[in-house]
Amino acid sequence: VPATLIGRNAFQETDIIGMTRPIVKHSYLVLDVKDIAQTIVNAFHLAASGRPGPVVVDIPKNAQQAMAPFIFPETHDLSNYNVPTKASDEEIAAIKDMIRKAERPCVYSGGGIIHAEASKELVEFVEKYNLPITTTLLGAGAIPEDHPLSLRWLGMHGTYYANYAANECDLLICLGARFDDRVTGPAAGFAKDAKKIHVDIDLSEINKNVHVDLGVIADVKEVLKALNEDPIRKDYTAWHAQIAEWKKAHPFSYKRDGRLKPQYVIEKLRELTNGDAIIVPGVGQHQMWAAQFYPLKFPRQLLTSGGLGSMGFGLPAAMGAKVAFPDKTVVNIDGDGSFQMNIQELGTLSTEDIGVKMIILNNQHLGMVAQWEDRFYGSVRGNTELMNNNSQRAYPDFVTIAKGYEIPGIEVFTEEELEPALKKMLETPGPFLLDCHTLYHDHVLPMMPPGKGYKDIITE
């Protein structure tokens, strides 16, 4: 649509600026071809700095087709855009003083640690201060999950012991997280007896969901560097012992009963990849099982849709990861419902020869919704069954669909068939699809029920 027809309902006109405004960091409408270069530089700076986020650049047809001398700007011209960096000496001293007074501290870190490239500083911080740490799902991998101080991730389907530690602590140190409802449950009851510190680069997040005692608006990496210069180390023996009891009593677990279990598929994948693959799930039960049973070693090892929970995320995101890291094993772990949201991308995988490995945990249901139906709505099904009652087999036939795109695939029905099939998948160059047939009866546990707190966690 040319600029002269904007706002006139021209053919295929859409107010893309208005449509995307709630979900982007900033928007630009470029009316003059001479402004394109500077706008692109500004947009990339905005997108990557501070709290990262998408920036829309809308270029009308006339500007796209016009000619102009190309002069690429050396830098942005956003003189009024300032990003917080370091905390003040007084703020660092206040954080240390609160740590000094605490007997049961707990660190709660989020995706902000990943965005700030602050994983090294985070590990150094918890080691120097001897602090237990839990992460959000999007912050998982910031610290290796087999680290003795790691509680893995907390929230609705996070570890029992992380949820208990975060709620029973007397000091909660929130680093680059936002007190999301899937983490806190009812916000008023979250860590209600604890003092709270919140470090975030985004002013709007401070006191938005949970009131904190100390809010620090700064780059979390710079804050951690300052804290690591002169650490405080206390004896938290009793606190660590309590956490160890919770860990021993309530690990992530499941019962093997001879059927092919989704959890077993993921555990076997981790064994055969030495825990080094990049894992990219869709959204649903399989997403939670992937995060539970493939413990992470490094940042961005798990790429997942968190706050929006967008089904269909897995396959295209895995394609991007494989293009960015061609030497890494990239596995899209998906459900049969989520996978079909973007199944057409099999065509791109094939034509571009992008070597993503695809594992479908196929239970013929929208499993997470079916789990809620079972737990809270008397197992009444609301279009969550994906099978075809007129078919004698699982529906659709994903392996046949993949072969239509010249992508090899195997169906797996039993534990005995799994390992050789996984080895075949991992050894075969290029994309490969593994359709693992599981039953829908398995539920993701533990589970903090909607509207409930950590003391209401369901474990069986």
Same structural domain for residues 58 and 109? no
- Residues with Cβ within 8 Å of residue 215, at least 6 apart in sequence: 197, 198, 200, 206, 207
Same domain, 390 and 317: yes
pTM above 0.85, yes or no: yes
pLDDT, residue 17, reads 95
73 assigned to some structural domain = no
Residue 245 domain flag: yes
On whether both 163 and 242 belong to a single domain, the answer is: yes
Range of the domain at 395: 262-437
Q: Give a yes or no: residue 74 inside a domain.
A: no
162 and 239 within one domain: yes
Question: Count of domains in the chain?
Answer: 3
Q: Which of 194, 225, 249 is the last residue of a domain?
A: 249
* Tokens 């270069």, residue located: 37
Query: Do 238 and 267 fall within a single domain?
Result: no
DSSP string, 251-278: -S-----SS--HHHHHHHHHHHHTT-SE
Intervals of the chain under pLDDT 50 = none
Same domain membership, residue 302 and residue 161: no
How high is the pLDDT of residue 79? 87
Do 276 and 327 reside in the same domain of the chain? Answer: yes
Q: Which pLDDT does position 28 carry in this prediction?
A: 97
- Check residue 122 and give its pLDDT: 99
Q: Is 153 helix (H, G, I), strand (E, B) or coil?
A: strand
Looking at the structure, tell me whether residues 285 and 242 fall in a common domain.
no
What's the confidence (pLDDT) of residue 392? Answer: 83
Asked if residue 355 belongs to a domain, the reply is yes
Q: Are residues 202 and 296 in the same domain?
A: no
Both tokens assigned to 60: 């009308």
Assigned domain for 445 exists:
no
Let me know: does 434 contact 359? Beta carbons within 8 Å.
yes
Q: Does residue 83 belong to any structural domain of this protein?
A: no
Bond from prior residue into 186 cis (ω within 30 degrees of 0): no
Domain annotation covers residue 256: no
Could you say which of 201, 220, 249 is where a domain stops? 249
| Pair 66, 33: CB distance under 8 Å | yes
Instruction: Report pLDDT for 137.
Output: 98
What CATH number is associated with residue 320?
3.40.50.970
Q: Does 270 share its domain with 151?
A: no
Indicate whether 195 and 232 sit together in one domain: yes
- 230 and 343 in a single domain? The answer is no
Q: What is the pLDDT of residue 391?
A: 86
Instruction: Answer for the pair 332, 359: CB distance below 8 angstroms, yes or no.
Output: yes
CATH of the domain at 128: 3.40.50.1220
Task: Examine residue 396 and say whether the peptide bond preceding it is cis (omega within 30 degrees of 0).
Answer: yes
CA distances from 283 to 287, 334, 369, 376 (A): 5, 8, 11, 20
Instruction: For residue 448, give Cα distances in angstroms to 163, 169, 185, 192, 459.
Output: 9, 18, 8, 17, 9
Question: Cα(330)–Cα(278) distance, rounded to whole angstroms?
Answer: 5
Has residue 459 been placed in a domain?
no
Query: How would you class 356 by CB atoms within 10 Å of its CB: exposed for 0-12, middle for 13-18, buried for 19 or more?
Result: buried
